[in-house]
Structure formats: C-alpha cells, structure tokens
Structure 1
Amino acid sequence: MSVKPAPASAPFAGPFALATLSVPGEPSFPALVTSGQLVIDLRTALDDAQLTTRRLLEDWQAVLPRLRSLAEDGAAPRRPLTDFQVHAPVEPRQVFQSGANYRQHVIDLHVAHKAPGDDRPEDERRAEAAEIMDRRATDDLPYVFIGLPSAITGPYDDVVLPSWAAKPDWELELVAVIGRPAHGVSVDEALEYVAGYAIANDLTDRATVFRRDMPQIGTDWLRSKNAPGFTPLGPWIVPADSIADPDDLQLTLKLNGETMQDESTKDMIFNVARMVSYASQSAHLLPGDLVLTGSPAGNGMHWGRLLRDGDVMDGSITGLGAQRTRCVAEVTS
C-alpha cells in the first residue's frame, strides 16, 4: 500500500501549481491546484476532454495567463486535493539526468568510489576531488545522460527495490520542466524555456553504476538508475515565475524522519541555466521534458546506510512542496 501523506502538508510558492490527479476507476487528468489546496479540473475549465499536462506545456505561453485567471476566479468549481490520488505531474518524452553537479556531493562520491588499488589517505583523495570540482566549474562542461520516462512514478507511490539492487540509494534533485522547444539556446536565454520546477528523487543502485566486468566502458546508467519507479516525481510543477531564484533553493531529504540531505542549490557546479543550455546544444528539448540538475551531498554511500525494505523517504525543495515514498522489497518467486 502506498504511503500518502495529507497533501495539505506540502505547500508551494505562488498562487497555483500544475498536477496530474485521478479518482479510483477513472483516468487521470490535468489539474490546477491553488495555494488553498483546492483543485480545478482543467479539462472542464478549458473545455478540452482530452487535455493532458504535457499538452498544456506545449502551449505554455498562451495558457499561462488563463491559468492565472482561473486561480483568481472564485467561480471555477473546486474540490479538496485530499479527494484525489496524486500522480507524477507530467509524462515527458525525454529525461535528461545530471551527474556530479554538486561540489560537496561529488567530493564525497570520489572518496567513496575509490579505484581498486588506490590506498591513498582519505584527506588526500578529498583534496584531489575538490581541486577537480573547482576546475570543472571554470573550464569544463556539465555531465548529462539520458533517463527513461518508464522509471518515473508518483510522489507518494511505493518504490520497489529490485532484488538485484545491492546498494539502492537516494538522490533528491531539482527538476527544470521545459515549456518551449529548445535547441542550441544560450545560457542567458535558457531559463526562458523553463515552464516550471518540480521535485525528483533519482534513485541509484550504487552497486551497478560501474561496469566492473568492462571498466573501459565506464558507467551503466540503464541498470543503476532506470528500474521502474526509480524516479519519484512531483507532487506538482510550480510555474517558473513563482520561483524567485532556482539557484537558491534548499533541498532536504529525510530517511525515516532523520535528515540525510540538506543543501542549497547554491552548491551546484553548473546552475540551472547552464544545465538547460548544455542539454540543448546536443538534443532538441521538447515541452514537458525534464532536466534533472543533480543531487547534493548526503546520499546513502556517504552515511554508510543504503535503502532497504520499509524505509520512508521525505523529500522537499523550497517552494515546490514535498513528496513521500516508501521502499518495498521486490517479491521474487
């Protein structure tokens, strides 16, 4: 059974957010959630029975003023958010994930994932990683790879830990949701292509990150990050104009009530604009696509405590609400 906290405990910045909701036995639908935790069914409000959140994002510049008006219009029918199941807010066509984008996090990973035969003291390896991070911020490019939409699940859904995942870990991340087709955009204009922001937890099986059988190949992101449900997303998308500065938000993840990650996006090596711009240099970003911007220090490898059956993760980001997911061990025959 999924762990579903009262959505009223997860406020967001601004007058409204976009969500995808449902009631039992009926298909999900796009909704406007007001700051009072009330729901407006956008199929009815916009007179489009086939409407989806992604279609809203495909026409974001035109629809945004209408959504603002709906949020202010007291005549629009509303129901309490607690009447609905909350799903991932959008079904993206593409998911762009970022690795090694928080300075302290990467230093910790560098120390935890030492190469076989590297017997140097920890402080020496930590100093080496710090020097690498400072050089990257100045001279290098972001590290971006492709995730699978099929790994996405709702913000309150259970996460099944595969039986083969020996070291499943958490990674809370800020997500930029694309609102206009973007290709080859500059850093200065990149945020103009962001419709809003959301929360993701980019779960990773540390045991399968590196191909030990083929070290010359390197990382295996398919196996380590893309199991079904390994990317809890949401609970909603908060419009970009409701977030004053995406590069100054606090990310906090608690495991069974104990704080594990608690860091500002200020610690990013490459900020949101640089991440979106970089992804667009190679790929054609589409409305509804997700750009995950990396995770800060405090993952399970750092604490020496990986995920196991029954664990509950609470993740929050300033102005974006909160998600809660429970880990459930895979049942094998």
Structure 2
Amino acid sequence: MKLTAAATGFSGPFALGTLSAPGRPPFPGLVVPDGRVLDLAAALGLPDVRALLERWDKVLPRLAELAAGTGRDWLPLDGLRVHAPVEPRQIFQSGANYRTHVIDLAVAHEPEGGRPAEQVRAETAAMMDRRAAEDQPYLFIGLPSAITGPYDDVVLPYWCRKPDWELELAAVIGRPAFRVRPDEALEHVAAYTIANDLTARELVFRRDMPEIGADWLRSKNAPGFTPLGPWLVPAGFAGDPGDLQVTLRLNGQVMQDESTQDMIFDLARLISYASQTTTLLPGDLVLTGSPAGNGMRWGRLLRDGDVMEGTITGLGAQRTRCVAEARDDA
C-alpha cells in the first residue's frame, strides 16, 4: 500500500518506521508529519530500527535534530512501502486485561444451556476484582514470525474456523528491563505502536487436555496474525498510555472503541511483572490486551475480503485485508 503525507497520523514532530522503495531493501526511516522520510541507515549508519532502540538514549536527541533539518536527502513517503516498524526478539502478550472485554468473552464462551448471562457477568467481574487486588497479570509469549506489516494482507489459514480481531496498544522497549518496579517501568519504554493480535478462537482451549488450559501457540501465532505499526511514536509524544482510544473498524463499521482506561493492569504493572521473570530487551513488544468489541462479542468473525482498520490515539492507522488460504488438496 502506498501512503501520502496525510496518512501519517501520529502525534509529535517525528516517528520511526521501516520502509522500502522498489529495488532496494528495507531501511529504518525517520518520518515527519508532512510526509517526508529520512533514511537513517545512511544518516546514522545503523541498519535497522532495533539497532536504533539499542542506543535509544543517545539516538533520540539526534533524531530530533534530524527531524528539524531540511535538504535533498529526504524522500517522499508517497511511493514507499511501509513494513512492520521493528523486528522484536520477544513479544509479551497480556491476556484478559480489559474488564468489559473479559466479561463479554465469558458470556460468549458459556455453553448453551449453561449459567444465565447475568450470573456469568457477575462472577467474572468478581474474578477480575480479585486479580487486580492480588497484582497478578496474565502474560504469555508470542512469536516474531507472526508479525506482518500494517498494510499487508492477512492470510486466514484454511484450518482456522473462528478468526477474530484484537486491536491493542503495544509498548516498545528501549532500555533493558529486569526486575524493575512499577514506578520505574515506563522509563524503559522507548515508543508505542499498534498491534492487531488475531486469534483462532476455536483453538484457544485444548479440548483434549482441559487441565492444561490455553494453547496460545496454535491460536495466536499463524504467519501474519500480528499486523504491527505503522509507526513507532516516541513515548514523549504519545501521551498517557493509560488514556488512549483504541478503535477498530470492520468494513467501515466500528467494532471496538474503548479507552485504555478500561485496562485491569496498567502498562507499568505489566512491564514490571514480566521483568520479574526475564529481561525485556530493546525492540521487544509488550502488548497490553484488547478492549471489548471482538468478533465473539458481535457473533461475526473474520471472512475472506474483510478489511480491518485500526487506530489508536496519536499512533496512526493500519489497514489490512483478509484473504482466505486455499487448501492444497482442494
């Protein structure tokens, strides 16, 4: 998909992306709101966005200087291809982290003839109150191979019967984080971006091994199941991550439209919790969970030809088309 200057849509004087032109490999780009792009591989000698993030404290002031400059080295955004903005080593994904969303899913997953909807809602709300009080977020690991660009087609695998959308705020780590406290966790965030964490709903729970629980490998990690981007917006420009609007449209109709205020565990607590077990590295992603309005809530899942448009306040917009995969034996 080709973009014009009007399509940048991010807050602040600049953002980062990974872009390419016909006949040349992808390069890290400094993007300014009027639609100009500076090749940072040429300007700074760094090969990709992750290399920038590994030097974030030193690079950020230089990026501000470059964004204010003029010259013949700038490229027009129009005509460039926009890729996923960063290639992470680790993806930390938050499950059941929006109050209304969890209640809706609990009702949707209740077997026919089971508990009344109001009972399910009340019991689920009480469960989330206990979780919040005990400070125990739920995190699992995603695969980098699931990431695709913000305007690429999303292939719905032939075996996936219930593909669903989950638009999410994603934090991008810029400084290694290990056993950090919540009050210092956001100091390790370099930028924010948009992620659509698709799910094969029928595979979330192992029916053959219910005692083990969720199967995130099969349900979350098909190739292209995580459209990412378009931009990395530096944390200083993005505003309060606890007060951003997350909106997804399906074929032009609003399906998700919720504030990050509905999160049970805020971003600082998610980062701190993950860092108690492992080190978060520059370029890693922390996905904060998805708000209410998924396909299970509406009884309408993804189909061939559907177009998803996702926006988060100040972070731009992504647009992806669903394409059904043909079976080899069809």
Structure 2: distance between partners of 1:82 and 1:307: 30
* Pairing partner for 1:286 from 259, 281, 290: 281
- Classify 1:128/1:41 alpha carbon distance in 2 versus 1 (closer, same or farther; 3 Å): same
2:83 pairs, out of 87, 99, 122, with 87
Q: Is 1:72 paired with 2:68?
A: yes
After TM superposition, list the pairs within 5 Å mapping 1:143-182 onto structure 2.
Answer: 143-182=138-177
- Comparing 136-145 with 212-221, which one deviates more in the overlay? 136-145
1:239 partner amino acid = P
Name the SS for the 2:85 alignment partner.
Answer: coil
Specify which of 107, 122, 128 is matched with residue 111 of structure 1: 107
Structure 1 distance, partners of 2:306, 2:250, is 7
Aligned pairs (5 A) from 1:216-295:
216-295=211-290
* TM-score when normalising by structure 1: 0.96
After superposition, the Cα gap between the structure-2 partners of 1:109 and 1:68, relative to the gap in structure 1 and judged at 3 Å, is same
TM-aligned CA distance change 1:53 to 1:318, over 3 Å:
same
CA distance in 2, matches of 1:160, 1:329: 6
Percent identity between the two aligned chains? 69
Asked if residue 59 in structure 1 is aligned to residue 79 in structure 2, the reply is no
- Superposition misfits of 4+ residues, deviation over 3 angstroms: 3-7
Task: Tell me which amino acid in the other structure corresponds to 1:13.
Answer: S
Can you list the C-alpha shifts for 1:247-302, whole angstroms capped at 9, x where unaligned? 00000000000000000000000011111111111111100000000000000000
Contact 1:20 1:28 in 2 (8 A): yes
Q: 2:28 aligned to 27, 30, 33, which one? A: 30
How far has the Cα of 1:4 moved from its partner? 5.4
**Does the 8 Å CA contact 2:245/2:312 hold for their aligned counterparts?**
yes
Q: Aligned partner of 2:28: which letter? A: P
Residues 223 and 36 (structure 1 numbering): CA distance in 2 closer, same or farther, change over 3 Å? Answer: same
1:311 aligns with 2:287: no
- TM-score using structure 2 length: 0.97
Q: CA RMSD in A?
A: 1.3
In structure 1, C-alpha distance between the alignment counterparts of 2:167 and 2:224, rounded to whole Å: 14
- Corresponding residue of 2:15: 17
| Unmatched tracts of structure 1, length 5 or more | none
Opposite residue 125 of structure 1, the aligned amino acid is: V
Contact 1:4 1:157 in 2 (8 A): no
The corresponding residue for 2:316 is 321
For 1:7 and 1:64, locate their aligned partners in 2 and report how far apart those are by CA, in whole Å.
23
Does the C-alpha gap of structure 1 residues 7 and 104 become closer, same or farther in structure 2, counting only changes over 3 Å? farther
Task: Could you tell me which runs of 5 or more consecutive residues in structure 2 were left unpaired when the two chains were aligned.
Answer: none
Q: Is the 8 A contact 1:4 1:324 kept in 2?
A: no
Letter in 2 for 1:246: P
**Rounded Cα–Cα distance in structure 1 between residues aligned with 2:201 and 2:304:** 17
| 1:106-127 deviation digits (Å, cap 9, x = unpaired) | 011111112x587211111111
Write the letter of the residue equivalent to 1:286.
L
Alignment length, in residue pairs? 328
Q: Matched residue of 2:276: which SS?
A: helix
**What is aligned with 1:204?**
199
Distance in 2 (CA, whole Å) between partners of 1:291 and 1:205 is 20
Q: In structure 2, what is the Cα distance between the partners aligned to 1:270 and 1:306?
A: 27
Alignment partners' CA distance in 1, 2:134 and 2:300: 34
Q: Structure 1's 92 and 210: CA in aligned 2 closer, same or farther, altered over 3 A?
A: same
**Counterpart AA for 2:285:** L
Q: Distance in 1 between matches of 2:230 and 2:198?
A: 17
Equivalent residue of 1:83, what SS?
coil
Distance of 1:76 and 1:118 partners within structure 2: 68
d(CA) in 1 for partners of 2:68 and 2:135?
Answer: 45
Q: 1:21, 1:9 → 2: CA distance? A: 14
Deviations along 1:184-218, whole A, 9 cap, x unmatched? 00000000000000000000010000000111111
Contact 1:4 1:156 in 2 (8 A): no
CA distance in 2, matches of 1:259, 1:209: 25
User: Which AA in structure 2 matches 1:23?
Assistant: A
The structural deviation recorded for 1:76 is 6.2
* 1:46-80 CA distance string (max 9 Å, x none): 1x1x5210000000000000000000112362121
The answer on whether the counterparts of 2:5 and 2:33 sit within 8 Å (CA) in structure 1 is: no
State whether residues 4 and 35 of structure 2, in contact with CA within 8 Å, keep that contact through their aligned partners in structure 1.
no
Q: Aligned-pair distance for 1:331?
A: 1.6
Aligned residue identity for 1:105: H
Q: Is the 8 A contact 2:251 2:306 kept in 1?
A: yes
Match for 1:123 among 103, 118, 125? 118
CA drift of 1:25 comes to 2.5
Q: Which secondary structure state, in structure 1, belongs to the residue aligned with residue 47 of structure 2?
A: coil
3-state DSSP class of the match of 2:78? helix
